[in-house]
Chains A and B, each alone.
Chain A
Amino acid sequence: DGGITQSPKYLFRKEGQNVTLSCEQNLNHDAMYWYRQDPGQGLRLIYYSQIVNDFQKGDIAEGYSVSREKKESFPLTVTSAQKNPTAFYLCASRDRQGNSPLHFGNGTRLTVT
Chain B
Amino acid sequence: AQSVAQPEDQVNVAEGNPLTVKCTYSVSGNPYLFWYVQYPNRGLQFLLKYITGDNLVKGSYGFEAEFNKSQTSFHLKKPSALVSDSALYFCAVRDISSGSARQLTFGSGTQLTVLP
Give me the interface of A with B, judged by CB distance under 8 Å.
Answer: 4, 6, 9, 31, 33, 40-43, 45, 48, 50, 56, 58, 88, 90, 92, 94, 98-99, 101-107, 109
A49: shortest Cβ distance to chain B, in Å?
9
Give me the interface of B with A, judged by CB distance under 8 Å.
Answer: 9, 32, 34, 36, 41-46, 49, 51, 90, 96, 101-104, 106-109
**What are the residues of chain B within 8 A of A50 when measuring CB–CB?**
101
Q: Are A42 and B46 within 8 A (Cβ)? A: no
Least CB separation from B99: chain A residue: A98
Q: Are B108 and A58 within 8 A (Cβ)? A: no
A40 CA / B108 CA spacing, docked (Å): 6
Q: Is the interface of A mostly helix, strand, loop or mixed?
A: strand
Q: Are A33 and B109 within 8 A (Cβ)? A: no
A43 CA / B43 CA spacing, docked (Å): 11
Least CB separation from A100: chain B residue: B49
Q: Which of B44, B102, B109 contacts A48 (CB 8 A)?
A: B102
Q: Are A102 and B104 within 8 A (Cβ)? A: yes
**What are the residues of chain A within 8 A of B96 when measuring CB–CB?**
98
Least CB separation from B108: chain A residue: A42
Q: Are A31 and B44 within 8 A (Cβ)? A: no
A50 CA / B103 CA spacing, docked (Å): 11
A43 CA / B51 CA spacing, docked (Å): 22
Q: Are A103 and B46 within 8 A (Cβ)? A: yes
